[in-house]
Structure 1
Amino acid sequence: MKSLFRPGLLLVLALPLVLAACGDKEPEQRAAFSQFLQTRILDKPGVRVPQLTADESKAFGDYSRHYAVISDFNAGMDASVKPLGELMQKGSMRSLGDVIARRDDIQAIQAGLNKMSTQLTSEQAKADAAHAQLKQPEDLKVVYDKAYDKTVSVPANTFREVLPQINGTFDSSLKIADYVNAHKGQIEISGAVVKVQDPAVQAELNALLQELNSQAKNVQQAQARLQSLMTGR
Protein backbone atom coordinates (compact mmCIF):
# COMPACT_ATOMS: atom_id res chain seq x y z
CA MET A 1 0.00 0.00 0.00
CA LYS A 2 2.80 2.38 0.79
CA SER A 3 4.26 1.94 -2.67
CA LEU A 4 0.95 3.03 -4.22
CA PHE A 5 0.94 6.43 -2.47
CA ARG A 6 4.61 7.23 -2.84
CA PRO A 7 4.58 8.31 -6.53
CA GLY A 8 1.65 10.62 -5.86
CA LEU A 9 3.48 12.21 -2.98
CA LEU A 10 6.52 12.82 -5.16
CA LEU A 11 4.34 14.39 -7.83
CA VAL A 12 2.79 16.79 -5.34
CA LEU A 13 6.18 17.82 -4.02
CA ALA A 14 7.65 18.28 -7.48
CA LEU A 15 4.76 20.29 -8.91
CA PRO A 16 5.58 23.62 -7.22
CA LEU A 17 9.16 23.32 -8.43
CA VAL A 18 8.03 22.79 -12.00
CA LEU A 19 5.66 25.73 -11.80
CA ALA A 20 8.36 27.98 -10.37
CA ALA A 21 10.73 27.07 -13.17
CA CYS A 22 8.10 27.74 -15.82
CA GLY A 23 7.35 31.13 -14.25
CA ASP A 24 10.94 32.41 -14.48
CA LYS A 25 10.88 34.93 -17.33
CA GLU A 26 14.34 36.40 -16.66
CA PRO A 27 16.12 34.67 -19.57
CA GLU A 28 13.52 35.97 -22.06
CA GLN A 29 13.56 39.42 -20.49
CA ARG A 30 17.35 39.52 -20.59
CA ALA A 31 17.44 38.41 -24.22
CA ALA A 32 14.84 41.00 -25.23
CA PHE A 33 16.64 43.78 -23.39
CA SER A 34 20.02 42.80 -24.81
CA GLN A 35 18.62 42.75 -28.34
CA PHE A 36 17.05 46.18 -27.79
CA LEU A 37 20.35 47.65 -26.62
CA GLN A 38 22.19 46.16 -29.58
CA THR A 39 19.73 47.03 -32.36
CA ARG A 40 18.23 50.29 -31.08
CA ILE A 41 21.33 51.90 -29.54
CA LEU A 42 24.62 50.26 -30.50
CA ASP A 43 23.78 49.59 -34.14
CA LYS A 44 22.37 53.10 -34.70
CA PRO A 45 24.53 56.11 -35.59
CA GLY A 46 24.97 58.88 -33.05
CA VAL A 47 23.49 59.02 -29.56
CA ARG A 48 19.98 57.59 -29.64
CA VAL A 49 18.04 56.80 -26.47
CA PRO A 50 14.48 55.82 -27.45
CA GLN A 51 11.71 55.95 -24.90
CA LEU A 52 10.39 52.54 -23.99
CA THR A 53 6.89 51.60 -25.00
CA ALA A 54 4.59 49.92 -22.53
CA ASP A 55 5.11 46.60 -24.32
CA GLU A 56 8.90 46.97 -24.18
CA SER A 57 8.84 47.81 -20.48
CA LYS A 58 6.76 44.70 -19.86
CA ALA A 59 9.04 42.55 -22.03
CA PHE A 60 12.17 43.73 -20.20
CA GLY A 61 10.75 43.24 -16.72
CA ASP A 62 13.11 44.55 -14.04
CA TYR A 63 15.65 45.38 -16.71
CA SER A 64 13.51 48.40 -17.54
CA ARG A 65 14.95 49.87 -14.36
CA HIS A 66 18.44 49.29 -15.74
CA TYR A 67 17.50 51.15 -18.90
CA ALA A 68 16.19 54.03 -16.79
CA VAL A 69 19.76 54.71 -15.67
CA ILE A 70 20.62 55.54 -19.29
CA SER A 71 17.40 57.32 -20.18
CA ASP A 72 17.30 59.40 -17.00
CA PHE A 73 20.85 60.59 -17.59
CA ASN A 74 20.07 61.61 -21.15
CA ALA A 75 17.00 63.51 -20.04
CA GLY A 76 19.15 65.33 -17.50
CA MET A 77 21.90 65.95 -20.05
CA ASP A 78 19.43 67.33 -22.56
CA ALA A 79 18.06 69.73 -19.94
CA SER A 80 21.59 70.77 -18.90
CA VAL A 81 22.94 71.53 -22.38
CA LYS A 82 19.72 72.87 -23.87
CA PRO A 83 20.77 76.52 -23.32
CA LEU A 84 24.04 75.99 -25.25
CA GLY A 85 22.69 77.05 -28.64
CA GLU A 86 21.12 80.19 -27.20
CA LEU A 87 24.29 81.06 -25.30
CA MET A 88 26.42 80.62 -28.42
CA GLN A 89 24.06 82.82 -30.42
CA LYS A 90 24.09 85.43 -27.68
CA GLY A 91 27.88 85.31 -27.62
CA SER A 92 28.28 85.93 -31.34
CA MET A 93 30.41 89.07 -31.73
CA ARG A 94 30.65 90.83 -35.09
CA SER A 95 33.10 93.58 -34.26
CA LEU A 96 35.52 94.83 -31.65
CA GLY A 97 32.87 97.34 -30.64
CA ASP A 98 30.52 94.43 -29.86
CA VAL A 99 33.13 92.89 -27.59
CA ILE A 100 33.55 96.13 -25.67
CA ALA A 101 29.86 96.97 -25.43
CA ARG A 102 28.74 93.49 -24.39
CA ARG A 103 31.24 92.71 -21.68
CA ASP A 104 28.48 92.00 -19.15
CA ASP A 105 26.79 89.66 -21.62
CA ILE A 106 30.04 87.74 -22.03
CA GLN A 107 30.34 87.25 -18.29
CA ALA A 108 26.72 86.08 -18.11
CA ILE A 109 27.39 83.59 -20.91
CA GLN A 110 30.43 82.24 -19.06
CA ALA A 111 28.36 81.83 -15.92
CA GLY A 112 25.81 79.86 -17.95
CA LEU A 113 28.50 77.61 -19.41
CA ASN A 114 29.98 76.96 -15.97
CA LYS A 115 26.55 76.09 -14.60
CA MET A 116 26.00 73.75 -17.53
CA SER A 117 29.28 71.95 -16.83
CA THR A 118 28.45 71.61 -13.13
CA GLN A 119 25.00 70.17 -13.85
CA LEU A 120 26.41 67.74 -16.40
CA THR A 121 29.07 66.53 -13.98
CA SER A 122 26.39 65.97 -11.35
CA GLU A 123 24.16 64.04 -13.76
CA GLN A 124 27.06 61.84 -14.84
CA ALA A 125 28.11 61.11 -11.25
CA LYS A 126 24.53 60.11 -10.41
CA ALA A 127 24.33 57.81 -13.43
CA ASP A 128 27.74 56.26 -12.71
CA ALA A 129 26.71 55.52 -9.13
CA ALA A 130 23.48 53.87 -10.28
CA HIS A 131 25.34 51.93 -12.96
CA ALA A 132 27.79 50.58 -10.41
CA GLN A 133 24.91 49.18 -8.33
CA LEU A 134 23.37 47.17 -11.15
CA LYS A 135 23.59 43.39 -10.93
CA GLN A 136 23.62 41.81 -14.38
CA PRO A 137 24.53 38.46 -15.90
CA GLU A 138 27.82 38.69 -17.76
CA ASP A 139 26.34 38.28 -21.24
CA LEU A 140 24.02 41.25 -20.67
CA LYS A 141 26.65 43.29 -18.86
CA VAL A 142 28.91 43.24 -21.92
CA VAL A 143 26.20 44.74 -24.13
CA TYR A 144 24.86 47.10 -21.47
CA ASP A 145 28.28 48.54 -20.68
CA LYS A 146 28.86 49.31 -24.36
CA ALA A 147 25.47 51.03 -24.58
CA TYR A 148 26.19 52.94 -21.38
CA ASP A 149 29.54 54.10 -22.68
CA LYS A 150 28.00 55.29 -25.96
CA THR A 151 25.04 57.11 -24.44
CA VAL A 152 26.40 58.31 -21.10
CA SER A 153 30.17 58.31 -20.68
CA VAL A 154 31.23 59.46 -24.16
CA PRO A 155 28.71 62.32 -24.57
CA ALA A 156 29.18 63.54 -21.00
CA ASN A 157 32.98 63.51 -21.26
CA THR A 158 32.88 65.17 -24.67
CA PHE A 159 30.63 67.98 -23.50
CA ARG A 160 32.80 68.54 -20.44
CA GLU A 161 35.89 68.72 -22.67
CA VAL A 162 34.25 71.05 -25.18
CA LEU A 163 32.68 73.53 -22.76
CA PRO A 164 36.05 74.86 -21.49
CA GLN A 165 37.14 75.33 -25.11
CA ILE A 166 34.07 77.43 -25.74
CA ASN A 167 34.64 79.32 -22.52
CA GLY A 168 38.21 80.03 -23.62
CA THR A 169 36.87 82.13 -26.47
CA PHE A 170 34.98 84.32 -24.05
CA ASP A 171 38.08 84.57 -21.84
CA SER A 172 39.90 86.00 -24.84
CA SER A 173 37.01 88.39 -25.50
CA LEU A 174 37.16 89.68 -21.93
CA LYS A 175 40.92 90.20 -22.22
CA ILE A 176 40.34 92.38 -25.27
CA ALA A 177 37.55 94.34 -23.60
CA ASP A 178 39.73 94.99 -20.56
CA TYR A 179 42.72 95.93 -22.71
CA VAL A 180 40.74 98.40 -24.80
CA ASN A 181 39.22 99.98 -21.69
CA ALA A 182 42.70 100.33 -20.20
CA HIS A 183 43.99 102.07 -23.36
CA LYS A 184 41.06 104.24 -24.33
CA GLY A 185 43.33 107.15 -25.09
CA GLN A 186 45.21 105.25 -27.79
CA ILE A 187 42.32 103.28 -29.35
CA GLU A 188 39.44 104.73 -31.38
CA ILE A 189 36.61 102.48 -32.53
CA SER A 190 34.10 103.56 -35.17
CA GLY A 191 31.93 100.68 -36.34
CA ALA A 192 34.22 98.10 -37.91
CA VAL A 193 37.11 100.59 -38.13
CA VAL A 194 39.71 100.57 -35.35
CA LYS A 195 42.44 103.23 -35.15
CA VAL A 196 45.38 102.90 -32.78
CA GLN A 197 47.74 105.79 -32.11
CA ASP A 198 50.54 103.89 -30.36
CA PRO A 199 52.37 101.18 -32.43
CA ALA A 200 53.12 99.20 -29.26
CA VAL A 201 49.44 99.20 -28.29
CA GLN A 202 48.50 98.22 -31.83
CA ALA A 203 50.86 95.23 -31.70
CA GLU A 204 49.50 94.09 -28.34
CA LEU A 205 45.92 94.48 -29.50
CA ASN A 206 46.63 92.55 -32.69
CA ALA A 207 48.10 89.72 -30.63
CA LEU A 208 44.95 89.58 -28.51
CA LEU A 209 42.75 89.59 -31.62
CA GLN A 210 44.79 86.77 -33.15
CA GLU A 211 44.32 84.77 -29.96
CA LEU A 212 40.57 85.36 -30.16
CA ASN A 213 40.47 84.23 -33.81
CA SER A 214 42.37 81.08 -32.88
CA GLN A 215 39.95 80.37 -30.05
CA ALA A 216 37.01 80.94 -32.42
CA LYS A 217 38.36 78.23 -34.73
CA ASN A 218 38.60 75.88 -31.75
CA VAL A 219 34.96 76.56 -30.97
CA GLN A 220 33.94 75.75 -34.54
CA GLN A 221 35.82 72.47 -34.30
CA ALA A 222 34.23 71.76 -30.92
CA GLN A 223 30.75 72.38 -32.28
CA ALA A 224 31.46 70.10 -35.24
CA ARG A 225 32.70 67.43 -32.83
CA LEU A 226 29.52 67.61 -30.79
CA GLN A 227 27.38 67.52 -33.91
CA SER A 228 29.21 64.43 -35.18
CA LEU A 229 28.93 62.72 -31.81
CA MET A 230 25.21 63.27 -31.36
CA THR A 231 24.15 62.57 -34.96
CA GLY A 232 26.81 60.07 -36.02
CA ARG A 233 27.55 62.09 -39.16
Structure 2
Amino acid sequence: MKSLFRPFLILAAALPLVLAACGNKEPEQRAAFTQFLQTRIVDKPGVRVPQLTEEEKKSFGDYAAQYAVITDFNAGMDASVKPLSGIMQKGSMRSLNDIVARRDDLKAVQASLNDMGAALKEQQAKADAARAQLKQPEDLKAVYDKAYEKTVSLPADTFRDVLPQLNATFDSSLKIADYVAAHAAQIDISGPIVKVQDPAVQAELNKLLQDLNAQAKNVQQAQTRMQAVMVGR
Protein backbone atom coordinates (compact mmCIF):
# COMPACT_ATOMS: atom_id res chain seq x y z
CA MET A 1 0.00 0.00 0.00
CA LYS A 2 2.86 2.36 0.80
CA SER A 3 4.41 1.90 -2.61
CA LEU A 4 1.09 2.57 -4.33
CA PHE A 5 0.33 5.83 -2.51
CA ARG A 6 3.82 7.31 -2.34
CA PRO A 7 3.81 8.82 -5.89
CA PHE A 8 0.38 10.32 -5.20
CA LEU A 9 1.61 11.88 -1.96
CA ILE A 10 4.66 13.34 -3.68
CA LEU A 11 2.46 14.80 -6.43
CA ALA A 12 0.03 16.28 -3.89
CA ALA A 13 2.88 17.88 -1.98
CA ALA A 14 4.43 19.34 -5.12
CA LEU A 15 1.18 20.72 -6.55
CA PRO A 16 0.84 23.68 -4.14
CA LEU A 17 4.42 24.68 -4.95
CA VAL A 18 3.67 24.67 -8.67
CA LEU A 19 0.50 26.70 -8.16
CA ALA A 20 2.33 29.16 -5.96
CA ALA A 21 5.03 29.63 -8.57
CA CYS A 22 2.47 30.22 -11.31
CA GLY A 23 0.48 32.71 -9.25
CA ASN A 24 3.46 34.74 -8.05
CA LYS A 25 3.92 36.89 -11.16
CA GLU A 26 1.91 39.85 -9.88
CA PRO A 27 4.80 41.62 -8.10
CA GLU A 28 6.94 41.40 -11.24
CA GLN A 29 4.08 42.56 -13.45
CA ARG A 30 3.31 45.43 -11.11
CA ALA A 31 6.96 46.49 -10.98
CA ALA A 32 7.24 46.40 -14.78
CA PHE A 33 4.04 48.41 -15.22
CA THR A 34 5.04 50.94 -12.56
CA GLN A 35 8.45 51.45 -14.16
CA PHE A 36 6.83 51.89 -17.58
CA LEU A 37 4.43 54.55 -16.28
CA GLN A 38 7.21 56.40 -14.47
CA THR A 39 9.87 56.37 -17.18
CA ARG A 40 7.76 56.48 -20.35
CA ILE A 41 5.01 58.88 -19.24
CA VAL A 42 5.56 60.70 -15.95
CA ASP A 43 9.24 61.55 -16.55
CA LYS A 44 8.72 62.60 -20.19
CA PRO A 45 7.76 66.15 -21.25
CA GLY A 46 4.25 66.76 -22.56
CA VAL A 47 1.55 64.19 -23.16
CA ARG A 48 3.07 60.91 -24.31
CA VAL A 49 0.97 57.76 -24.52
CA PRO A 50 3.07 55.04 -26.19
CA GLN A 51 1.36 51.95 -27.57
CA LEU A 52 2.32 48.75 -25.82
CA THR A 53 4.31 46.10 -27.62
CA GLU A 54 3.20 42.49 -27.31
CA GLU A 55 6.16 41.86 -25.03
CA GLU A 56 5.12 44.75 -22.76
CA LYS A 57 1.52 43.52 -22.64
CA LYS A 58 2.78 40.11 -21.57
CA SER A 59 5.11 41.56 -18.93
CA PHE A 60 2.29 43.70 -17.44
CA GLY A 61 -0.22 40.86 -17.26
CA ASP A 62 -3.65 42.06 -16.15
CA TYR A 63 -2.26 45.56 -15.61
CA ALA A 64 -2.21 46.06 -19.39
CA ALA A 65 -5.99 46.49 -19.17
CA GLN A 66 -5.47 49.33 -16.69
CA TYR A 67 -3.25 51.11 -19.18
CA ALA A 68 -6.04 50.76 -21.75
CA VAL A 69 -8.07 53.26 -19.70
CA ILE A 70 -5.45 55.88 -20.61
CA THR A 71 -4.94 54.82 -24.23
CA ASP A 72 -8.67 54.58 -24.94
CA PHE A 73 -9.25 58.10 -23.63
CA ASN A 74 -6.38 59.54 -25.65
CA ALA A 75 -7.60 57.86 -28.83
CA GLY A 76 -11.03 59.40 -28.26
CA MET A 77 -9.57 62.80 -27.42
CA ASP A 78 -7.38 62.79 -30.52
CA ALA A 79 -10.40 61.99 -32.69
CA SER A 80 -12.45 64.75 -31.05
CA VAL A 81 -9.88 67.54 -31.32
CA LYS A 82 -8.42 66.52 -34.69
CA PRO A 83 -10.81 68.86 -36.57
CA LEU A 84 -9.78 71.82 -34.37
CA SER A 85 -7.17 73.27 -36.73
CA GLY A 86 -9.61 73.09 -39.64
CA ILE A 87 -12.35 74.65 -37.51
CA MET A 88 -10.07 77.52 -36.51
CA GLN A 89 -9.04 78.02 -40.12
CA LYS A 90 -12.69 78.22 -41.11
CA GLY A 91 -13.29 80.81 -38.40
CA SER A 92 -10.25 82.91 -39.28
CA MET A 93 -11.31 86.44 -40.26
CA ARG A 94 -8.92 88.89 -41.88
CA SER A 95 -11.14 91.93 -42.29
CA LEU A 96 -14.42 93.49 -41.21
CA ASN A 97 -15.84 92.48 -44.57
CA ASP A 98 -14.91 88.85 -43.79
CA ILE A 99 -16.76 89.01 -40.49
CA VAL A 100 -19.90 90.37 -42.11
CA ALA A 101 -19.84 88.09 -45.16
CA ARG A 102 -19.04 84.87 -43.27
CA ARG A 103 -21.45 85.09 -40.38
CA ASP A 104 -22.82 81.60 -41.11
CA ASP A 105 -19.30 80.18 -40.94
CA LEU A 106 -18.87 81.71 -37.49
CA LYS A 107 -22.08 80.09 -36.25
CA ALA A 108 -21.00 76.73 -37.69
CA VAL A 109 -17.62 77.02 -35.97
CA GLN A 110 -19.28 77.72 -32.63
CA ALA A 111 -21.52 74.68 -33.02
CA SER A 112 -18.48 72.52 -33.81
CA LEU A 113 -16.62 73.78 -30.74
CA ASN A 114 -19.65 73.07 -28.54
CA ASP A 115 -19.86 69.53 -29.92
CA MET A 116 -16.14 69.06 -29.28
CA GLY A 117 -16.50 70.18 -25.68
CA ALA A 118 -19.44 67.83 -25.10
CA ALA A 119 -17.52 64.89 -26.60
CA LEU A 120 -14.47 65.58 -24.42
CA LYS A 121 -16.63 65.81 -21.32
CA GLU A 122 -18.24 62.46 -22.11
CA GLN A 123 -14.90 60.76 -22.80
CA GLN A 124 -13.36 62.12 -19.62
CA ALA A 125 -16.34 60.96 -17.55
CA LYS A 126 -16.05 57.49 -19.09
CA ALA A 127 -12.33 57.33 -18.31
CA ASP A 128 -12.85 58.59 -14.75
CA ALA A 129 -15.52 55.95 -14.16
CA ALA A 130 -13.23 53.20 -15.46
CA ARG A 131 -10.37 54.46 -13.33
CA ALA A 132 -12.55 54.44 -10.21
CA GLN A 133 -13.08 50.69 -10.67
CA LEU A 134 -9.37 49.83 -10.80
CA LYS A 135 -7.89 47.75 -8.00
CA GLN A 136 -4.31 48.88 -7.39
CA PRO A 137 -1.72 48.41 -4.65
CA GLU A 138 -0.66 51.75 -3.15
CA ASP A 139 2.81 51.79 -4.73
CA LEU A 140 1.34 51.39 -8.22
CA LYS A 141 -1.57 53.74 -7.54
CA ALA A 142 0.78 56.59 -6.64
CA VAL A 143 2.51 56.41 -10.03
CA TYR A 144 -0.65 55.59 -12.00
CA ASP A 145 -2.37 58.66 -10.54
CA LYS A 146 0.46 60.88 -11.82
CA ALA A 147 0.33 59.29 -15.27
CA TYR A 148 -3.47 59.61 -15.39
CA GLU A 149 -3.35 63.27 -14.35
CA LYS A 150 -0.77 64.03 -17.03
CA THR A 151 -2.40 62.13 -19.90
CA VAL A 152 -6.12 62.36 -19.12
CA SER A 153 -7.18 64.95 -16.56
CA LEU A 154 -4.79 67.79 -17.46
CA PRO A 155 -5.21 67.74 -21.26
CA ALA A 156 -8.98 67.24 -21.02
CA ASP A 157 -9.43 70.02 -18.48
CA THR A 158 -7.17 72.35 -20.46
CA PHE A 159 -8.98 71.73 -23.73
CA ARG A 160 -12.32 72.28 -22.04
CA ASP A 161 -11.04 75.54 -20.49
CA VAL A 162 -9.69 76.73 -23.84
CA LEU A 163 -12.81 76.02 -25.89
CA PRO A 164 -14.95 78.71 -24.18
CA GLN A 165 -12.17 81.23 -24.82
CA LEU A 166 -12.25 80.34 -28.50
CA ASN A 167 -16.02 80.61 -28.50
CA ALA A 168 -15.85 84.04 -26.87
CA THR A 169 -13.80 85.27 -29.82
CA PHE A 170 -16.46 84.11 -32.25
CA ASP A 171 -19.12 85.70 -30.03
CA SER A 172 -17.32 89.02 -30.43
CA SER A 173 -17.15 88.53 -34.20
CA LEU A 174 -20.87 87.76 -34.37
CA LYS A 175 -21.69 90.88 -32.36
CA ILE A 176 -19.77 92.91 -34.93
CA ALA A 177 -21.53 91.21 -37.84
CA ASP A 178 -24.92 91.87 -36.25
CA TYR A 179 -24.05 95.48 -35.45
CA VAL A 180 -22.88 96.19 -38.99
CA ALA A 181 -26.03 94.58 -40.40
CA ALA A 182 -28.23 96.67 -38.08
CA HIS A 183 -26.45 99.90 -39.07
CA ALA A 184 -25.82 99.16 -42.73
CA ALA A 185 -27.10 102.61 -43.72
CA GLN A 186 -24.32 104.32 -41.73
CA ILE A 187 -21.48 101.89 -42.51
CA ASP A 188 -19.83 101.55 -45.91
CA ILE A 189 -17.30 98.74 -46.37
CA SER A 190 -15.14 98.73 -49.48
CA GLY A 191 -12.40 96.14 -49.18
CA PRO A 192 -10.13 97.15 -46.29
CA ILE A 193 -11.64 100.65 -46.14
CA VAL A 194 -14.51 101.27 -43.72
CA LYS A 195 -16.41 104.56 -43.69
CA VAL A 196 -18.91 105.38 -40.93
CA GLN A 197 -21.19 108.37 -41.24
CA ASP A 198 -22.50 108.55 -37.68
CA PRO A 199 -19.84 109.28 -35.00
CA ALA A 200 -21.84 107.38 -32.38
CA VAL A 201 -21.98 104.32 -34.62
CA GLN A 202 -18.26 104.64 -35.30
CA ALA A 203 -17.49 104.81 -31.58
CA GLU A 204 -19.55 101.70 -30.85
CA LEU A 205 -18.03 99.81 -33.78
CA ASN A 206 -14.53 100.71 -32.59
CA LYS A 207 -15.42 99.42 -29.12
CA LEU A 208 -16.60 96.12 -30.57
CA LEU A 209 -13.44 95.79 -32.67
CA GLN A 210 -11.25 96.49 -29.64
CA ASP A 211 -13.08 93.77 -27.74
CA LEU A 212 -12.42 91.37 -30.62
CA ASN A 213 -8.71 92.23 -30.57
CA ALA A 214 -8.60 91.54 -26.83
CA GLN A 215 -10.31 88.18 -27.35
CA ALA A 216 -7.79 87.34 -30.10
CA LYS A 217 -4.96 87.83 -27.59
CA ASN A 218 -6.73 85.49 -25.20
CA VAL A 219 -6.86 82.88 -27.96
CA GLN A 220 -3.11 83.18 -28.52
CA GLN A 221 -2.52 82.69 -24.80
CA ALA A 222 -4.86 79.70 -24.79
CA GLN A 223 -3.00 78.13 -27.71
CA THR A 224 0.31 78.67 -25.91
CA ARG A 225 -1.11 77.05 -22.78
CA MET A 226 -2.41 74.09 -24.76
CA GLN A 227 0.95 73.61 -26.46
CA ALA A 228 2.71 73.72 -23.09
CA VAL A 229 0.50 70.89 -21.84
CA MET A 230 0.69 68.71 -24.95
CA VAL A 231 4.33 69.26 -25.92
CA GLY A 232 5.82 70.19 -22.58
CA ARG A 233 7.30 73.56 -23.39
> Shared topology, TM-score over 0.5?
yes
The unaligned stretches of length 5 or more in structure 1 are: none
**Residues 42-98 of structure 1, C-alpha deviations (whole Å, 9 max, x = no match):** 010000000001111111111110000000000000000001001111111110000
Q: Which whole-Å CA distance do the structure 2 matches of 1:136 and 1:18 have between them?
A: 26
Secondary structure at the residue paired with 2:195? strand
Partner residue of 2:135? 135
In structure 2, the residue matched to 1:118 is 118
Q: CA RMSD in A?
A: 1.8
Aligned counterpart, 1:99: 99
The 1-side partners of 2:117 and 2:183 are apart by 34
Match for residue 88 of structure 1? 88
Q: Distance in 2 between matches of 1:99 and 1:57?
A: 52
Residue of structure 2 equivalent to 1:14: 13
Q: Which runs of 5+ in 2 are unaligned?
A: none
2:173 maps to 173
Percent of matched pairs sharing the same residue: 71
Give me the TM-score of the superposition, normalised by structure 1.
Answer: 0.95
Aligned-pair CA distance for 1:11: 5.0
Task: Please report how far the alpha carbon of residue 196 of structure 1 lies from its aligned counterpart in structure 2 after TM superposition.
Answer: 0.6
1 CA distance for matches of 2:7 and 2:55?
A: 41
Residue 42 of structure 2 corresponds to: 42
Residue 220 of structure 2 is aligned to residue 228 of structure 1: no
Q: Distance in 1 between matches of 2:206 and 2:4?
A: 102
Structure 2 counterpart SS, 1:94: coil
Question: In structure 1, what residue type is equivalent to 2:45?
Answer: P
CA distance in 2, matches of 1:104, 1:60: 51
Partner AA of 1:110 in structure 2: Q
Inter-partner Cα distance in structure 1 for 2:166 and 2:79: 19
Deviation at 1:14, TM superposition (A): 3.4
Question: Could you report, residue by residue, the CA deviation over 1:93-119 in whole angstroms, capped at 9, with x for unpaired residues?
Answer: 110000000000000000110000010
Supply the distance in 1 between the matched residues of 2:6 and 2:157 (Cα, whole angstroms).
64
Q: Which residue number in structure 1 is paired with residue 214 of structure 2?
A: 214
Deviation at 1:133, TM superposition (A): 0.4
The corresponding residue for 2:33 is: 33
Deviations 1:3-36 (A, max 9, x none): x999988754432221122112111110000000
